[in-house]
Amino acid sequence: MPANNALNNEEDHRDTKTPDASCDASTDTDASKGIDNEGDDKGADDDSVCSDDDAGDESLPSAAQVETEASAEEDIGKKINQLRLAKGYSQRKLAKLAGLTNTSISSIERNKVSPAVNTLKAILTVLGSDLTTFFSDEWKEPKARVVVTPKDLLELSEAGSRVSLKQVYNCSTTKNLGFLIETYQPNSSTEEKIAHEGEEIGTVIEGKILIRVEETTYLLNQGDSYVIDTMKPHTFINPSDSITRIVSAHTPTTY
């Protein structure tokens, strides 16, 4: 059952704000190339024994080269994640602006796939960077905070939205859990049928909320909690004339 004044065009109900400058990601070590071609096995005879000449073939990558290039490839997803969070963009918003799918951005950030050069260029353009700075020696990882003050929270909703989604972001590059402080103005809602990988758990700390998961709707009052599989299309609706507040956590840190 839809709510009045539903939030329009919200990016996976998590969108944009530039964070405190102390959390901004800088540029990176030379991590430009993953291993695209390992090289075919060459020169092996029927007994699978290599000759001395084959062993010294400089065209074959050394173990050190393989290790270095593999590490470089693994850094790409982490650095894109840092730049995206520094912009306050949701994966959905970055995907839309770069002309990609939300699933593609998620896979790249988690290093499940290595992006093609043109894809990486498109992503970096949206994030205000380029290939040169992305793979330079000046990259410095932001220092993780222990305390996150209200001014450090990332507002992920668009300006003017009637739903506020503030992310507790401490600049960590290894976090596995996302945490949100959510505020729903009277008769507001997220966009219809959001779906993303993972699990979400939350508690209503003020007001009430309707949660529609696929074709089933649940009404939660203050003190009630929910656990949902976020792969299933879902919508959050405040059906009342009062403000609703929720705290929620989700894993993995995709949204």
Output the pLDDT for position 50.
44
List the structure tokens of 124: 């970096």
Render each residue's pLDDT in the chain as its tens digit; 255 residues: 444 444 444 444 444 444 444 454 443 333 333 334 444 444 444 444 444 444 444 444 443 344 444 444 448 988 898 888 888 787 888 998 999 988 899 889 888 899 999 999 999 999 988 888 888 876 777 788 899 999 888 888 877 889 999 989 888 877 788 899 999 999 999 977 888 778 999 999 999 999 999 999 999 999 999 999 988 999 999 999 999 999 999 987 766
Write the burial class of residue 207 (CB in 10 Å: 0-12 exposed, 13-18 middle, 19+ buried). Answer: buried
Strand partners, 237: 189, 210
SS (H, E, C) 111-124: CCCCCCHHHHHHHH
Output the pLDDT for position 200.
94
User: Which of 174, 184, 191, 253 has the alpha carbon at shortest distance from 220?
Assistant: 184
CA–CA dist 78, 16 (Å, integer): 19
Output the pLDDT for position 23.
58
CA–CA dist 62, 255 (Å, integer): 39
- Residues contacting residue 221 through CB under 8 Å, at least 6 positions apart: 204, 208
- Report pTM: 0.59
Phi/psi at 80 (5° precision) = -65, -40
CA–CA dist 180, 166 (Å, integer): 5
Output the pLDDT for position 221.
97
If you write DSSP's letter for every residue of the chain in order, what string do you get?
Answer: ---TTPPPS-STT-------GGG-----SS-----S------S--TT----HHHHT-TTSPPHHHHHHHHHHHHHHHHHHHHHHHHHT--HHHHHHHHT--HHHHHHHHTTSSPPPHHHHHHHHHHTT--HHHHTSTT--PPPPPS---GGG-EE-SPTT-SEEEEE-----SS---EEEEEEE-TT-B--SSB--SSEEEEEEEESEEEEEETTEEEEEETT-EEEEETTS-EEEE--SSS-EEEEEEEESS--
